[in-house]
Amino acid sequence: MVIGDSQYFNGYALLLNKRHVESMLELSWLEKFRFLRDLLRVYRAVFSAFKPIRLNVELLGNTDHHLHWHIFPRYHTDTHPKKVVWVIDGVLRNKKASHSLVQKNKNKLKREL
């Protein structure tokens, strides 16, 4: 699990599969179970640490060919709270957060995990 460089969505995190694969179909049943178990742990930790109203979880793979989950906390204060995160301008959404904010959020998640 890593905290995203961008914190446009405060608490944004990614869960990367330990072994490089591009698809869930490449995982054994045990690896699938562990990957989903880890997702639930991170989901719970992000929810507990940042108190969003919702969490959006996405497994894409169109651009980054390594199996990973995006975990986006969503808040009432979001620019478009009822739309997918990808409708927000990529320059704004992907702007790197300060090192201190990333560290602060990383520490919050570590305490929850």
Q: Looking at the predicted structure, is the pLDDT value of residue 82 above 90?
A: no
Asked whether 38 and 1 are in contact (CB, 8 A), the reply is yes
Average pLDDT, integer, range 99-106: 96
At 40-66, the pLDDT tens digits run 999 999 999 999 999 999 998 888 899
pLDDT(1) > 90 = no
Question: Which residues contact residue 98 at a Cβ distance below 8 angstroms, ignoring those fewer than 6 apart?
Answer: none
| Residue % of the chain over a pLDDT of 90 | 86
Q: Which CATH number fits domain 2-112: 3.40.50.10540, 1.10.10.60, 3.30.980.10, 3.30.428.10?
A: 3.30.428.10
pLDDT at residue 63, rounded to an integer = 84
Residue 110 has pLDDT above 90, yes or no: yes
Count CB neighbours of 81 within 10 A.
11
Non-local (6+) Cβ contacts of 3 within 8 A are 11, 12, 13, 102, 105, 106, 109
pTM: predicted TM-score of the whole model, two decimal places: 0.92
Give residue limits of the domains in the chain.
2-112
- Mean of the pLDDT values across residues 98-112? 95
